[in-house]
């Protein structure tokens, strides 16, 4: 399965903005390469995946891969950045919309859980790769992974801090650790759901996780 389409990097610096209905060719090509790479790497591993295979799966020439990315490592690094940025954006949108409708910050956290589940259901291969990379410390893209992880966590942390300021959550709440726990809960629960309990609906999984948040964090 492929990463969702989004506004990932790819616009040529200095170029005039293209209409929304007609994205720049390079952005479209990069999206195809991301989709091909994430699927192949999830299927057979990073080391076993070659640039030739990525190009073939994306339906482009090998030279096109190197035109967009200087190496397979750089492609993978950009893939992680792009994917987690899309996840962070979906979490932020869910939280903002909930608060704009008059919901509490705890409601916003609940909406973010649902947004996270929806994103992962659409991009299971990306999520699998991201979780696997969290345990590896010798990758050249470790700094990038730490950075993009921080972006996703910052969204959750900001909602938690707003909830503390509004008196919805205790001032003694450990915001960074709680944010990590919530994001980790969604990632792991979603992967378990996709791998071992695919018969469950996203509504069922969300309801179970929502009870944890409303009963623990919300209390």
* Cα 129 to Cα 41: distance, rounded to the nearest angstrom: 8
CA 87 to chain centre: 3
DSSP state of 47: T
The answer to whether residue 98 is domain-embedded is: yes
Q: Give the model's pLDDT for residue 134.
A: 78
- Mean pLDDT across 67-73: 93
Distance CA 186, CA 205 (A): 10
Within-domain flag for 1:
no
Instruction: Report residue 157 as tokens.
Output: 């942390």
**CATH code at 204?**
1.10.357.10
Three-class SS of 48-92: CCCHHHHHHHHCCCHHHHHHHCCCHHHHHHHHHHHHHHHHHHHHH
Evaluate whether residue 162 is within a structural domain.
yes
The boundaries of the domain holding residue 133 are 73-217
**Tokens read off for 165:** 């300021």
58 falls within a domain: no
- DSSP annotation of 20 reads T
- Name the pLDDT band for 139 (thresholds 50, 70, 90): confident
Task: Name the nearest CA neighbour of 46 among 182, 123, 112, 138.
Answer: 138
| Domain assignment of residue 140, yes or no | yes
Q: Residue 9 domain-assigned?
A: no
Judge whether residue 210 has pLDDT over 50.
yes
Contact 77, 146 (CB under 8 A): no
When divided into structural domains, the chain yields a total of: 1
pLDDT band at 23 (very low <50, low <70, confident <90, very high): low
Contact 88, 151 (CB under 8 A): yes
**Span 182-203, average pLDDT:** 92
Q: Assess if residue 66 is contained within a domain.
A: no
- pLDDT (tens digit per residue) in 75-89: 998 998 999 999 999
pLDDT in tens, 34-63: 999 999 988 888 889 999 999 999 999 999
35 within some domain? no
- 42 or 65: which leads in pLDDT: 65
Q: Is the pLDDT of residue 92 over 70?
A: yes
Q: According to the model, what pLDDT value does residue 144 have?
A: 83
> pLDDT band for position 215 (50/70/90)?
low
More confident residue, 114 or 24: 114
- Measuring CA to CA, how many Å separate 205 from each of 133, 178, 190, 193? 24, 20, 8, 8
Average pLDDT over residues 181-188: 92
| Mean pLDDT of the chain, nearest integer | 85
- pLDDT for residue 129 is more than 90: no
């Amino acid at each position: 399965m492929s990463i969702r389409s989004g506004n990932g990097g790819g616009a040529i610096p200095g170029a005039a903005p293209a209409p929304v209905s007609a994205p720049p060719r390079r952005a479209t090509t990069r999206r195809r390469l991301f989709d091909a790479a994430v699927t192949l790497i999830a299927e057979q591993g990073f080391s076993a995946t070659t640039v030739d295979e990525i190009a073939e799966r994306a339906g482009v020439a090998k030279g096109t891969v190197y035109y967009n990315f200087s190496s397979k490592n750089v492609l993978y690094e950009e893939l992680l950045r792009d994917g987690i940025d899309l996840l962070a954006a979906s979490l932020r949108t869910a939280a903002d919309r909930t608060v704009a409708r008059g919901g509490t910050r705890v409601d916003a956290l609940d909406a973010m859980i649902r947004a996270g589940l929806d994103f992962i259901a659409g991009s299971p291969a990306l999520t699998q790769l991201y979780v696997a990379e969290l345990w590896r410390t010798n990758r050249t893209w470790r700094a990038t992974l730490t950075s993009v992880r921080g972006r996703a966590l910052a969204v959750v942390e900001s909602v938690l801090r707003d909830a503390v300021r509004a008196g919805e959550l205790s001032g003694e709440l450990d915001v960074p650790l709680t944010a990590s726990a919530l994001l980790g809960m969604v990632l792991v629960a979603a992967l378990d759901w996709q791998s071992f309990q695919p018969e469950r609906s996203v509504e069922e999984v969300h309801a179970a996780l929502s009870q944890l948040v409303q009963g623990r964090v919300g209390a």
